[in-house]
A and B are shown apart, each in its own frame.
Chain A
Amino acid sequence: MSEYLVNLKINDLSVSVPEGTTILDAAKKLNFRIPTLCHHPDLTVAGNCRVCVVEQKGSRALVASCATPVSEGMEIFTNSRKVRDARKNVIELLLSEHNADCTKCFKNGNCELQDLASEYRVGDHVFIDLVKTSARHEIDISSPAIQKDDSKCIRCQRCVRTCHEIQHVSALAVVNKGEHQAISTFLNKPMNDVVCTNCGQCINRCPTGALAERSYLDQVWDMINDETKHVIVQTAPAVRVALAEPLGFDPGNRVTHKMVSALKHIGFDSVLDTDFTADLTIMEEGTELLTRLKKALVDGDKSVKLPMTTSCSPGWVKFIEHTYPSLLDNVSTCKSPQQMFGALAKTYYAQKKGLKAQDIVSVSIMPCTAKKYEADRPEMRDSGYKDVDYVLTTRELAMMIKQAGIDFESLPDMEYDRIMGDSTGAAVIFGATGGVMEAALRTAYEIVTGSEVPFKNLDILPVRGFEGVREASVTIDGCTPEWSFLEGVELKCAIAHGLENAYQLMKAVYEGKANYHFIEIMACPGGCLGGGGQPIPTNEEIRSKRAQAIYAEDSGLPLRKSHDNPEVQQLYKEFLGAPLGHKSHTLLHTHYKGRKRY
């Protein structure tokens, strides 16, 4: 942004802002709130909803404050009679095309359009009710993760911009024109039949309930109420640093143990932790990386692909299946922690607890909508049953806690149940971009050298942060004899979050312009903490607070390296054998499927 300051007046107050600032942002500086709908801080400006119009002295027409840069001597009125009348008209027009069945809508109480309608006291249709006369609205529930209800769409195009700018997917586009304009897919195909990765970033930015997760709340309640079922629940790392938001707390609050408490109150038979299998993932994935390095560097095995990329993000997995099917052998064969947990729940856990696999219902709480899709993949039935039966988002869990009548704030702290409830700090940071890399390095380095990674307090700061693509390298020093071929090797790593960044990184790999050994990719901005199933709103500031909470959780834990997890050690001893062993191969690893992008 320019150094040059522009002076203007907003509602008779003077303000100086850098050249290029929009009226909207200048008003924010003076704490004047201008309502917006199509505007989102993560996205480029669209200026199509007109809710943010303001009056500019000397100009007959109202201007869209989100799309108009300030100019010297400008005088702006954000809340004049003319502005309020126009805004009310805009809201009424938007509502005339909006199916306002608010009581049934999952966004009820957290809907930007509803808030505006309420603020401007817009009730009955002033204009013609176009929803009732339109036959084109059918809810698309083809995807197990995302549902799309065009009758609630106000065509602000935040989803289209998200899918294009942040995710490089563009499953959604604006189709047709005029009264027929809609947000749709290629040839209006069902969402499940197109390149959608189910990441849910569109849901997180939709100002209404047009895009929502497929909810399985009712089914989970049914299972809890079914006496014959043993219902277990796993909670992903990023949920504990965001769950508090929809329950009335500020972003950045860690509520791990209150969450455990709430889940027990709700009636789950056992409250367990995805972090346990995150630690397990590190054991498997770290070993896989070292094995690949050995095969490639020592044995000269040309069939071994490097760099190896992570595989815990199901949005990323589907993205690469569509985008670079030729690079699928570069993706780690490790299942995600959710699916490792699911496969173990109906085998190892069942065995230890003396339960029949068919009596176990395995539920997961995820910051993610793509996890719903992942759980539905046909490959994810290695226990002989559907490994994970139901996936709920962080938002759905918050809803469940409200439905259960729980006063969250007053809950006592409780510990996870055993077995499969133990975890380390390395698992917690899976929830942030760079976290899997950091956890993997903490373990792999120690396997190879017998000593800890050479970073103060185990904090590998170069892999942290929100820059889209980050690079880091660790020189391996002091190898044990078994790994002597790695002595002095500079292990080159790269990290990307958000699929546009992932695309740029993988393009370099595809074109042979990158020489990394290990790449971590998370489909969502900020990693899972900014996942499509996380509380709404999510923005840069909130993501940063959640990340701080995650790293605070890590540094506060007594164990911070995955291989130190006692339950993981026990699991290998009693059940799996060694990492990448036969049983691991059957239960914890998977394969991928090339899909068409075109």
Chain B
Amino acid sequence: MTVKELVNELVEKHGTTHNSLMPVLQGVVQQERYLSEEAMLTIAEALDISAAEVYGTASFYTFLDTVPRGKNVIRVCKTISCHMQGKDEIIQALEDALKIKVGETTDNKRFTLLTANCLGWCHKGPVMLVNDEVYPELTPQKAVEIIQEYERNTK
């Protein structure tokens, strides 16, 4: 499915009012992992709003990326509780395993490694999010195993 088809399908489902903007943006990100220029322009046209407004809304939300991301997006919580429970070691282990730095995407476009503000799992930190899945009480080894599992399941 092209981005245009995806947007049209989402607009069909959610409608063309201003309120539809968020679910349409979320729907695109869920499929594509990010909002391309073409996606945002198509959404703007479908909802009859300006492209700048679409970008303004998208850029407000951390989870609505406007730069290309890998098939799987890893977000390690960087806030104070997770920090004190060892998030730096988790990040280090993931960086080593994936051979990328925070903010980067692997060459095979399978993983993007990011940090996130508080994910609300302070009692079970350190925690990371892979796409929509939460992984609490991580150790460096556990984190790497989880990623390897994704690696195996990603075609």
Contacts and interface: CB of A to CB of B under 8 A. Distances in A.
A171 interface: yes
B38 to A, nearest CB: 10
Interface of B: 37, 40-42, 44-45, 49-56, 59-60, 66
Contact of B49 (A170, A172, A175): A170
A194 interface: yes
Given A169-B50, A175-B56, 6 more contacts: A170-B53, A171-B52, A175-B59, A186-B40, A186-B50, A186-B55
A188 to B, nearest CB: 8
Interface of A: 164, 169-177, 184-187, 194-195, 597-598
A191 to B, nearest CB: 11
A169 B49 CA distance: 9
A174 B45 contact: no
Contacts of A185: 52
Nearest to B38: A598
Contacts of B60: 174-177
Contacts of A195: 50-52
Contacts of A184: 52, 55-56
B37 A170 contact: no
Contacts of B37: 187
A598 B53 contact: no
Contact of A173 (B41, B45, B55): B55
Contacts of A187: 37, 40, 55, 66
Contacts, number: 52
Contacts of B54: 186
B52 A173 contact: yes
Q: Which 4 A-B pairs have the closest CB atoms?
A: A170-B50, A173-B56, A173-B52, A186-B51
A171 B50 contact: yes
6 contacts: A173-B55, A175-B52, A176-B60, A195-B50, A597-B51, A598-B41
A173 B53 contact: yes
Nearest to B51: A186
Contacts of A186: 40, 50-52, 54-55
Contacts of B59: 175-177
A288 to B, nearest CB: 32
Contacts of B41: 598
Contacts of B51: 186, 194-195, 597-598
B55 A175 contact: yes
A194 B52 contact: yes
A375 to B, nearest CB: 26
A187 B66 CA distance: 9
A140 B142 CA distance: 48
B42 A598 contact: yes
Nearest to B54: A186
A184 B66 CA distance: 15
A541 to B, nearest CB: 30
A172 B52 contact: yes
Contacts of B45: 597-598
Contacts of A177: 59-60
A186 B52 CA distance: 4
A169 B37 CA distance: 19
A195 B53 CA distance: 12
Contacts of A598: 41-42, 44-45, 51
B22 to A, nearest CB: 15
Contacts of B53: 164, 170, 173
A199 to B, nearest CB: 15
Nearest to B61: A177
B62 to A, nearest CB: 9
A187 B65 CA distance: 12
A172 B56 CA distance: 9
Specify which of A169, A187, A597 lies most central, judged by the most chain B CB atoms within 10 Å of its CB.
A187
Nearest to B43: A598
A170 B42 contact: no
A173 B66 contact: no
Contacts of B42: 598
